[in-house]
């Protein structure tokens, strides 16, 4: 059974989903940091 490509596909898909989610967390963190900085400037 030539199924090794399915195994690789599943592992790659798993880490792709995790990477996308971690990327979204990093993006949200940096946006929030900017928001906090702007709040500080406002004072």
Partner 1 sequence: MRRAFPILAVLTALFLVYAFYQALWVAPTDALQGDVYRIIYYHVPSAWTAFLLFFINFIASMQYLANARPSTALAARWIVIAIGIVGFVAPFIPQVRQELPTGMYPSSVATTTLIITGLYFVIGKYFVDQDLDVLAVTTAEVGVVFCSIVLVTGPIWARPVWGIWWAPGDIRLTSTLVLWLIYVSYLVLRRFSDSAQTQQLAAVLAVFGALDVPLVYFSIWYFRTQHPQPVIGGGGSMDPRMLHVLLISWMAFLCFAFLVCWSRFRLEKLRREAEEAEALESLLEIAAPSSAVKAPIGGGSK
Residues contributing to the site for partner 1 (CB under 8 A): 1, 3-4, 6-7, 9-11, 13-14, 17-18, 21-22, 25, 28-29, 32, 35-36, 39, 42-43
Core vs surface per residue 20-42: b (16+ CB within 10 A) or e: eeeeeeeeeeeeeeeeeeeeeee
CB of 18 to partner 1, least distance (A): 7
CB of 8 to partner 1, least distance (A): 10
CB of 20 to partner 1, least distance (A): 9
In the 8-state DSSP scheme, what is residue 8?
Answer: H
């Amino acid at each position: 059974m030539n199924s090794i490509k399915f195994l690789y596909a599943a592992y790659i898909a798993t880490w792709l989903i995790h990477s996308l989610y971690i990327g979204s967390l990093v993006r949200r963190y940096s946006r929030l940091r900017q928001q906090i900085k702007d709040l500080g400037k406002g004072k």
